[in-house]
Structure 1
Amino acid sequence: MSTTLRISLAQVTSGTDPSENLKIIDTHAKAAKEAGSSIVVFPEAMMHCFGGPIRGVAEPVDGPWADAVRDTAKSIGITIVAGMFTPADEGRVANTLLVTGPGVEASYDKIHLFDAFGFAESDTVAPGTDPLTVDVDGVTVGFATCYDIRFPALFQKLGDLGAQLIVVPASWGSGPGKVEQWSLLARARALDSTAFVAACDQAEPADAQGTAPLGVGHSVVSSPTGEILGELDATPGLLTVDIETGLVDAVRQKLPVLANRRQF
């Protein structure tokens, strides 16, 4: 039986003030609810943007910042996915996705850290270890964060776990060819997992400087066959798309790449 899940991607720009970022979450969560969505996805680093100290803002998933997001999700009646930072070992933090809403409470720590293009995320961030799926209105949703999108095995594992939709909050680094890679990778991971992939990036900032990954925009939703169902440009916006799980079942029956693959 096919289930329809309406999802919104909030392509925004977070700043260095966690309380101001909460206001952004509240505004766009309300807009997503008005659009009829059951889930709204915000970018990675929504609590505090990259490019500045993050150790000092890290809080546990039961801390005040996360509780404020929970209150917003509860009052609006929508599931919110938002990137934050939580305390980890050796003075580092975890790059965490908070997933909270009606009947939903979970978190995912980014597994693959962005040690590339002159930026070393692992200097301040400890890697996660465990993939995550949750049920949102009868749809199995998997999670990945930014650089994770370059690693097919994670998406295949999420497919094995039954994910019909995989959301990917990001703060994608800019550079030559990076926008094209972002869109290509979202479509490729949808093909790898035979699932919908909804990749939500930070909007491109007006005054980007340094090597910190801040965002290029171009949030995108891909079908299990790699078809682009919706895409934004570099500027802030809200992308709303309906996910039809019957397509996942049909594709996995006709093209069972998860069942056919071999381990090497």
Structure 2
Amino acid sequence: MRIALGQLESGTDIQANLAAIDRFAAEAARDGAALVAFPEYATYEKKTVDASFPAVAEPLDGPVCQELASIARRHGIALVAGVVETSDEPGKAYNTLVAFGPDGGRLAFYRKIHLFDAQGFGESTFIKPGPSTDPVVFEAGGARFGLMTCYDLRFPELARSLADAGAEVLLVCSSWVPGTHKTEQWLALNAARAIENSVYVAGVCQAPPVSVGRSILVDPMGVVEADLGLEPGVQAFDVSLETVARVRELFPMFRQRRL
């Protein structure tokens, strides 16, 4: 199957962000992609998570998600994007990934569980961690996708739980905060999660300056098959479920591990 990575340069103008998502989804569909993935905070982003995030948050049936569903339906493509979702706690929102099918129906949603309280940032001041640690896996285009968000990439047990739940492709939707060695870590961790779980990893990131860019697709052997560099853009790539199955036979770790 064919999937696309949409590297955005999202800001605080929600309508402008949705327009960019629409353009990139149209381009991905024209290029034959069955699914297009966008970054964390795709519809609202700024350099620091602050009180404006819960202020703009909406429920998953609100106008922002309705427009994302409409984009998926209009272009006949599955779509995954990061949104700011209302929570039941005043002053806090959820950092949520939501997936829509090509008919506009909601396939899944995942509320980020590992919040970025590191490197001088305090995401949890305004964002509430997801209440469930259950792996979120959905099917689109004949493949099974698992959802992770940014800082989750540093927690290998989440990726393994998604693989155990049947994921063949991990979508790591991110706004990876820049810093010393951060790009190197981003690239290495995406490759590590692919190798240790015999899956494709599609790490789709916000572009600089808010993030590091370098959205990548890594195959189950750890080979980087695509790197979008630093500029906003969208590209489609083939993933082979036969490759996933072959690598899992070459390295039958799921049968051999001892817990």
TM range (shorter): over 0.9
**Which SS does the other structure have where 2:110 is aligned?**
strand
Q: TM-score, normalised by structure 2?
A: 0.94
Q: CA deviation at 1:107?
A: 0.8
Q: How far has the Cα of 1:34 moved from its partner?
A: 1.0
Q: Conserved in 1, the CA contact under 8 Å of 2:75 and 2:102?
A: no
For residues 10 and 182 of structure 2, the distance between their equivalents in structure 1, rounded to whole angstroms, comes to 20
| Alignment root-mean-square deviation, CA | 1.2
Matched, 1:184 2:180: no
Which letter does structure 2 place at the counterpart of 1:59? E
Which residue of structure 2 aligns with residue 94 of structure 1? Answer: 94
User: TM-score with structure 1 length normalisation?
Assistant: 0.92
Counterpart check, 1:137 vs 2:133: no
Deviations along 1:146-186, one digit per CA (max 9) or x if unpaired, are: 00111111111111011111111100000111111101000
Given candidates 25, 29, 34, the residue that maps to 1:29 is 25
Report the AA paired with residue 175 of structure 2. Answer: S
Q: Tell me what 1:204 maps to.
A: 208
Contact 1:45 1:83 in 2 (8 A): yes
Return the alpha-carbon distance in structure 2 between the equivalents of residues 31 and 59 of structure 1.
Answer: 27
Three-state SS of the structure 2 residue aligned to 1:125 is: coil
Amino acid paired to 2:102: P
The ranges of structure 1 where at least 4 consecutive aligned residues each deviate by more than 6 angstroms after the TM superposition are: none
Aligned pair count? 251
Match of residue 68 from structure 2: 69
3-state secondary structure, aligned to 2:138: strand
Q: Does structure 2 conserve the Cα–Cα contact (< 8 Å) formed by 1:55 and 1:124? A: yes
Of 242, 249, 255, 2:238 maps to 242
Residue 154 (structure 1) aligns with: 158
CA contact (8 A) 1:8 1:238 kept: yes
Q: Does 1:116 align with 2:118?
A: yes
Is 1:261 the counterpart of 2:257? The answer is yes
- Give the aligned residue type for 2:160: Q
Residues 9 and 219 in structure 1, CA contact (< 8 A), matched pair in contact too: yes
Q: CA deviation at 1:142?
A: 0.6
Q: Structure 1: give runs of 5+ residues left out of the alignment.
A: 206-213
8 Å contact kept, 2:178–2:211: yes
SS in structure 2 at match of 1:30: helix
d(CA) in 2 for partners of 1:259 and 1:115? 35
How far residue 138 of structure 1 moved from its aligned partner, in angstroms, is 1.2
Contact 2:168–2:244 (Cα < 8 Å) also in 1: yes
Amino acid in structure 2 at the alignment position of 1:150: R
Structure 2: which 5+ runs fail to align? Answer: none
